[in-house]
Amino acid sequence: MTSVIQLEECRERIRKELDTVVDFWLRYSHDPDHGGFFNCIGRDGKVYDDLKYVWLQGRQVWMYCRLYRTVERFHKPEILEAAKAGGAFLRRFARVSGGCGGDWKCAFCLTRDGKPVKIQRTIFSECFYILAMDELSRVTGDTDMQLEANQMMEQLIYWVQEDASGLGRPQLAGDAPTNNMAVPMMLLCLVHQITEGRGPDVVGKYRKLGCWCVQQILQHIQRNGTAILENVSPEGGELPGCKGRLQNPGHALEAGWFLLQFSAEQSDQVLQRTAINKYLKLPFQDGWDKKHGGLFYFLDVDKHCPTQLEWNMKLWWPHCEALIAFLMAYKQTKNPELLQRFFQVYEYTFSHFPDCQGGEWFGYLTQEGKVALDFKGGPFKGFFHVPRCLYMYLFS
């Protein structure tokens, strides 16, 4: 009972935090001259680089629309206009035609006025493009935009399931085919986005893909069920070396709540149990720093030192994912142990990441919990993980 009261007490803090975060991005990130959003925003709100990262452009459009569409106090013209301007910028500039990806490949990074700077040979820019277009079209009713999202989704599925050569990565004899967890996770996230609240035809069309994604994610349970590994073979076997032993606890926790969401939609209690026992409890158990608190960024399942220089840093987003995951799991099961984990993450997160002075959150702490990089927005940190986590606390 106390726990439920505690949850209510958190609510007020989280409501205020969400307002502060939305204010921050409304105030500092809009580019009235070229459209789209500034992503690189310093501690005090000053833009320190005007490059525009497509992942973050797409995510910001999505988040604005989601808030506008579902939360009364964010149903403001200012937010709608910003989302539309972001969507227009993406549609005008993100797709880079002429490469081997046909007309569907998106840039990773654009100049302020929309010229492509870098293309990644992965599917993630396209994923966030689709996420943005689907959500924006729900707000505006733009059927062309909806169609574009669906068409790009088809291309994405082709790249993932049929032939990845359009992404431009050369096939090399020593580069073992890999099921990287990010790929089925992102596809599952898109399936959820595209089918949510839609009719049985759309839901039916993507059912098989959703199941395939779940099955691909479940392949990452390794070592006789004692560990989640980030990369496995397409047959679900362990890969050799550092790549095969890599763990990313925040990512596993995110996959966990994707699976919980899917299990709820399908009323699949076996999947729910697997999600909790394997994708929530294991990464938390291995990933939580017993000495300093917080979740490590990367680990090696055999306790070798990871080769990623930032392995022991505490990043904001794994903590956001952990909060979502444990609260969702608690709501579905009412198991108090899961609520206790939630509060443990909550305590660390809210005492370390938010910047009480300048608003928004710091993103990157040392192992000991000191702010190591003090910007609010950067190439991989935008208006997404923090507001999504706060929003899902309040409205899911």
Q: Which residue has the tokens 């509060």?
A: 343
To a second copy, the closest distance from the beta carbon of 171 in angstroms equals 10
The nearer residue to a second copy, 74 or 159, going by C-beta atoms, is 159
CA distances from 335 to 131, 326, 327 (A): 32, 10, 10
What is the total count of residues that contact a second copy (CB under 8 A)?
A: 46
**Going by DSSP bridges, is the β-strand pair 179-180/116-118 parallel, antiparallel, or unpaired?**
unpaired
Exactly one of 19, 50, 265, 355 binds a second copy (CB under 8 A); which one? 50
Distance CA 133, CA 57 (A): 11
In the window 137-176, what residues touch a second copy (CB under 8 A)? Answer: 170, 172-175
Determine the straight-line distance between the first and last CA of the chain, rounded to whole angstroms.
20
CA distances from 147 to 83, 141, 151, 370 (A): 18, 11, 6, 46
Distance CA 178, CA 216 (A): 11
In the window 311-330, what residues touch a second copy (CB under 8 A)? Answer: 311-313
Cβ contact 273:299 at 8 Å = no
- The answer to the question of residue 16 lying near a second copy (CB under 8 A) is no
Exactly one of 366, 369, 392, 394 binds a second copy (CB under 8 A); which one? 366
- Three-point CA angle 351, 352, 356, nearest 5°: 75
- Of residues 394, 391, 379, 388, the one with CA closest to residue 52: 379
Exactly one of 310, 335, 347, 396 binds a second copy (CB under 8 A); which one? 310
Going residue by residue from 368 to 387, which x/- string records binding to a second copy, judged by CB under 8 A?
Answer: ----xxxx--xx--------
Going residue by residue from 229 to 268, which x/- string records binding to a second copy, judged by CB under 8 A?
Answer: -----------xxx--------------------------
The nearer residue to a second copy, 270 or 309, going by C-beta atoms, is 309
The nearer residue to a second copy, 350 or 380, going by C-beta atoms, is 380
Distance CA 346, CA 360 (A): 16
Q: Which residue has the tokens 């310093």?
A: 42
Amino acid at 287: G
The nearer residue to a second copy, 6 or 366, going by C-beta atoms, is 366
- The answer to the question of residue 77 lying near a second copy (CB under 8 A) is no
- The answer to the question of residue 33 lying near a second copy (CB under 8 A) is no
Q: Which residue has the tokens 């294991």?
A: 282
Q: Which stretch binds a second copy (CB under 8 A): 79-87, 189-197, 247-255, 308-316?
A: 308-316
Interacting residues toward a second copy by CB under 8 A? 40, 42-43, 48-51, 96, 99, 107, 109-111, 114-119, 170, 172-175, 240-242, 300, 304-307, 309-313, 364, 366-367, 372-375, 378-379
